[in-house]
Structure 1
Amino acid sequence: MTATAIVADTAVGSASRAPVARVYRFELVKLVSQWRIRLLVLACWIAPALFVAAVSRQSTLPVDTLFGRWMLATGWAGPLVMLGFAGTWALPLVTSVVAGDVFASEDRLGTWRHLLVAVRSPRRIFAAKTLASLTVLVLLVAGLACSSTVGGLAAVGNRPLVGLDGHLLAPSDAAVQVLLAWLCALAPTLALAGIGLLGSIALGRSPMGLLLPALVALVMQVAQMMPLPVAVRVALPGYAFIAWNGLFTSPVQLAPLLIGIAVSLVWAVTATVLAYVLFLRRDFTNLSDDGSSRRVVVAGVLPLVGLVVATVAIVAATTSATGSGIEQDKVQRSVATAFAHLYRMQTDQLNRPAVTEDQLKATAACTKAGVSDNAEGAGNDWRCVVSWHLPGVAATGSAVYQLDITPDGRFVADGDGPKEVNGYFLVRTRDGDAPNPLWQFDGNAELLPTSKG
């Protein structure tokens, strides 16, 4: 007997179906009454503040993490460091615990028949469970964002933030961009939630349903580390977890971010619809039936594989993305722009006469593994020579940087002389020693040619 037949039998007579709002409140109470959910809520609302505040007071910073080197300079760097960690580990794990278990728990407890008799509508049960899990996930994400922001501001203060191209964001602008970055992270979180719902329904009592979102997120992270074509990279649902860094350049690198968000939302809707179809076809009269493996493959796996192929084809057809997206002219433009902004910051630190980017006219000549023309691709074998001019000075200044560029376009520029410019970690200012902004800095080479440098 199918779920539809059960509903037809139980609906005989004058009994009415329970309203969705009432079922939603019931499912929400069930979720938050679980000890592991309560522990997650407490952890997400308390632990980030303690972590960011503690790290911000250390002399050794997580410089290998995006914005980690600025945690001593501004409180707005803390929530961005936490966002990088959350996209890699925290959000996939909490999504697995919440969405990956919301349906499977009924299989383990054998309570489907009781729930169907009480609600009298599988559709309303699905809607209520989905909305309840979504509510808890939003609460957890909000906790991570708010807690890390409070911790950073309390430990360091409301100060300007240095963007990925070296330009300075006022505290109010930094606050807006940080909020937008966390909101953008909701899209891939919803995609993982949809996959969690699908796994919870399709795999039933199997622990693989609980682990599915985390495993999918891990596969996406490994894929982002590989030298994939840019059309494939931005068409994966997890790309929005890292594309938010485009919000911290000027102009904002919107195209990769918007594509990543759109792909994530399409995945969220598709996976949720597939979960809904499988749920309505479940046989709830057989307590040992977790669903047909053939049905799982046909109605679950194959549509998602087809979705990957379709999104890659659409991105390739609608953008000018070719190869890795990391090209010589993009790298040179990004390095020169960041250097010009940071040179002005160093000039202010050293109490020298002010200079503008237009006056500096900074340029960069970059090579990769000795290739000076049409170099491209990720790697730690990039070398750039930055040149600039100072007003009233005939000689041309130059500085050397060694670059390590990751496949997603992010790079770390490590100063290699002269020592007066980028050879020392600290510079002596009128207020004492301070970090040298030109010694080592982060940057981002835009994968899609959508903004002008």
Structure 2
Amino acid sequence: MSAVALAPDNVAAPQPALFLRGLRFEWVKLLSQWRIRLLLLACWIAPALFVAAVSAQGTLPTDTLFGRWMHASGWAGPLVILGFAGSWALPLLTSLVAGDVFAAEDRLGTWRHLLVAVRSPRRIFAAKTLASLGVLLLLVAGLACSSVLGGLLAVGNQPLVGLDGHQLAPGDAALRVLLAWLCALAPTLALAGVGLLGSVALGRSPMGLLLPALVALVTQLAQMLPVPVAVRAALPGYAFISWSGLFAAPVQLAPLLTGVLVALIWALAATVLAYVLFVRRDFTDLSYDGAGRRAITLGALPLAGLLAVSVAAVAAASPASGSGITQAKVERSVAVAFGHLYRTQTEQLHRPAVTEAQLKASAACSKGGVRDGAEGAGNDWRCVVSWHLPGLRATGSAIYQLDVTPDGRYVADGDGPKEVNGYFLVRTPEGDAANPLWQFDGNVELLSAGP
């Protein structure tokens, strides 16, 4: 006689573990890793020490945006750190956090235990994604808060000179610094999405860990090349440099909003692709070493298509064409910055106050000998600035040599006369002081149609 075991009808099927428990578990796993703890410690301490140390030195990083103002305002230091973070720190942080959050389970062989405990691949993906993003937010917050604290303690809450030479009050500067760091979160999330996709698709391969840093490096190299402005603005890391438009007057919103929107779309698309690959994975295959062809068909190809669509959309929506750097834009930017900084020099020398409207500053620029219709990046731009002082018939003039980079930033180097912009110091009644007209940074709005 054979016995047949019948399952009772009232026995419920096993339910997945609570999502909040899984999220807490993933959060604890990440924060228990020694490298994550070291990164948190470094992000919350190192920027303050760096800003304070550089602000106390006689030589400043003048080749870095806002680096020349680190002696004058405590709000310049956080922007210098932001420029460095967008180029190097944030891509590396996303690689070490988001780029390894799934691959670590493959290396350790712990997927079976995790699936038995949670019983829901979807909840595992959501918990790992949110936990890694939470750690990244802590790291970015550390970089921002630490650099602000270091700048304010070392220099003080002083006004900041914007990219067109106008003075930003401390409160206004603080708000714009905060907005700049918030805007940098968008490309950080894009790189995090790429990291999640690489971690899921490439398994144990170290390329998954390096993918966000590799994507960031490629986009940085593209920003240094003379590519069309539509391609430049469609790259996921464009917001890492377009935040500088916050410090112009008027604020250059078009490049900033374009960069943020493109980065958020990249973040969403890469995360969705990672989710699709993850829920389709066969976890019973103990020899799994990457998604193989699906990593190309569901990973690389859709992102390449997204880039093409982004380029087409930006090209259709933007009135600018080519490099976006034209003679009229350069002339207007240089003239406006000179007018603002001339007023600053006038105050230093205790001369009668003058307004930009009274100065009527204008610039005539050429590039490589081309005097009409010059365009494009290069270090061969030359501008002659002219202005008028009330009550005088003579017209003042000063010469600048410009180095314009493909992303629209430039450094104007004074080339005389000496008493205006030919020397880095001016003699004031209180003693020698830094000459604001000797060198200054500027920014050309690439996506605008005209000057």
- Bin of the TM-score, shorter chain as denominator length: over 0.9
Matches within 5 A, 1:98-177: 98-177=97-176
Match of residue 8 from structure 2: none
Q: Look up the equivalent residue of 2:141 and give its one-letter code.
A: A
Does structure 2 conserve the Cα–Cα contact (< 8 Å) formed by 1:31 and 1:37?
yes
Q: Look up the equivalent residue of 1:359 and give its one-letter code.
A: Q
CA distance in 2, matches of 1:208, 1:13: 43
CA distance in 2, matches of 1:119, 1:261: 35
Cα offset, 1:321, TM superposition: 2.0
CA distance in 2, matches of 1:418, 1:429: 17
Q: Mean Cα displacement is larger for which, 156-165 or 18-27? A: 18-27
Match of residue 3 from structure 1: none
Cα offset, 1:14, TM superposition: 3.9
Match of residue 226 from structure 2: 227
CA distance in 1, matches of 2:148, 2:241: 19
CA distance in 1, matches of 2:149, 2:121: 42
Match of residue 255 from structure 2: 256
Q: Look up the equivalent residue of 1:337 and give its one-letter code.
A: V
Cα offset, 1:200, TM superposition: 0.3
Match of residue 285 from structure 2: 286
1:78 maps onto 2:85 in alignment: no
Secondary structure of the structure 1 residue equivalent to 2:426:
strand
Cα offset, 1:190, TM superposition: 0.1
CA distance in 1, matches of 2:103, 2:240: 27
Match of residue 6 from structure 1: none
CA distance in 2, matches of 1:169, 1:188: 26
Cα offset, 1:13, TM superposition: 4.1
1:34 maps onto 2:33 in alignment: yes
CA distance in 1, matches of 2:220, 2:173: 27
Does structure 1 conserve the Cα–Cα contact (< 8 Å) formed by 2:204 and 2:290?
no
1:50 maps onto 2:49 in alignment: yes
- Which stretches in structure 1 are left out of the alignment for 5+ residues? 1-11
Q: Deviations over 1:17-63 (max 9, x none)?
A: 11111111110000000000000000000000000000000000000
Does structure 1 conserve the Cα–Cα contact (< 8 Å) formed by 2:408 and 2:444?
yes
Q: Look up the equivalent residue of 2:130 and give its one-letter code.
A: L
CA distance in 1, matches of 2:415, 2:184: 36
Q: Look up the equivalent residue of 2:124 and give its one-letter code.
A: I
CA distance in 2, matches of 1:45, 1:288: 40
Q: How many pairs were matched up?
A: 441
CA distance in 1, matches of 2:125, 2:336: 51
CA distance in 2, matches of 1:291, 1:190: 23
CA distance in 2, matches of 1:364, 1:182: 33
1:295 maps onto 2:286 in alignment: no
CA distance in 2, matches of 1:434, 1:152: 21
Does structure 2 conserve the Cα–Cα contact (< 8 Å) formed by 1:225 and 1:407?
yes
Could you tell me the TM-score, scaled by structure 2's length?
0.97
Q: Deviations over 1:187-245 (max 9, x none)?
A: 00000000000000000101110000000000000000000000110010010000000
Cα offset, 1:16, TM superposition: 1.8
Secondary structure of the structure 1 residue equivalent to 2:81:
helix
Matches within 5 A, 1:325-364: 325-364=324-363
Does structure 2 conserve the Cα–Cα contact (< 8 Å) formed by 1:188 and 1:238?
yes
Cα offset, 1:288, TM superposition: 1.5
Secondary structure of the structure 2 residue equivalent to 1:157:
coil
Secondary structure of the structure 2 residue equivalent to 1:442:
strand
Could you tell me the TM-score, scaled by structure 1's length?
0.96
CA distance in 2, matches of 1:320, 1:248: 22
Cα offset, 1:177, TM superposition: 0.2
Q: Mean Cα displacement is larger for which, 378-387 or 431-440? A: 431-440
CA distance in 2, matches of 1:189, 1:432: 45
Does structure 2 conserve the Cα–Cα contact (< 8 Å) formed by 1:282 and 1:291?
no
Secondary structure of the structure 1 residue equivalent to 2:100:
coil
Cα offset, 1:291, TM superposition: 3.2
Q: Deviations over 1:280-310 (max 9, x none)?
A: 1111111211233111110000000000000
Match of residue 305 from structure 2: 306
Cα offset, 1:15, TM superposition: 2.4
Match of residue 5 from structure 2: none
CA distance in 1, matches of 2:197, 2:433: 52
CA distance in 2, matches of 1:267, 1:15: 37
Q: Which runs of 4+ in 1 moved over 6 A?
A: none
Q: Deviations over 1:375-424 (max 9, x none)?
A: 00000000000000000011000000000000000000000000010011
CA distance in 1, matches of 2:270, 2:444: 32
CA distance in 2, matches of 1:19, 1:314: 42
Matches within 5 A, 1:179-194: 179-194=178-193
Q: Give the aligned CA root-mean-square deviation in angstroms.
A: 1.0
Does structure 2 conserve the Cα–Cα contact (< 8 Å) formed by 1:107 and 1:287?
no
Secondary structure of the structure 1 residue equivalent to 2:99:
coil
Q: Look up the equivalent residue of 1:426 and give its one-letter code.
A: L
Secondary structure of the structure 2 residue equivalent to 1:246:
helix
Match of residue 4 from structure 1: none
Match of residue 68 from structure 2: 69
CA distance in 2, matches of 1:287, 1:321: 53
Does structure 1 conserve the Cα–Cα contact (< 8 Å) formed by 2:415 and 2:422?
yes
Match of residue 198 from structure 1: 197
Secondary structure of the structure 1 residue equivalent to 2:196:
helix
Q: Identity of counterpart residues, as a percentage?
A: 78
Match of residue 91 from structure 1: 90
CA distance in 1, matches of 2:60, 2:412: 17
Does structure 2 conserve the Cα–Cα contact (< 8 Å) formed by 1:365 and 1:386?
yes
Does structure 1 conserve the Cα–Cα contact (< 8 Å) formed by 2:235 and 2:307?
yes
1:317 maps onto 2:323 in alignment: no
Does structure 1 conserve the Cα–Cα contact (< 8 Å) formed by 2:277 and 2:291?
no
CA distance in 2, matches of 1:46, 1:30: 23
Secondary structure of the structure 1 residue equivalent to 2:420:
helix
Q: Look up the equivalent residue of 1:279 and give its one-letter code.
A: F
Does structure 1 conserve the Cα–Cα contact (< 8 Å) formed by 2:419 and 2:426?
no
Q: Deviations over 1:309-329 (max 9, x none)?
A: 000001111111200000000
Q: Look up the equivalent residue of 1:286 and give its one-letter code.
A: D
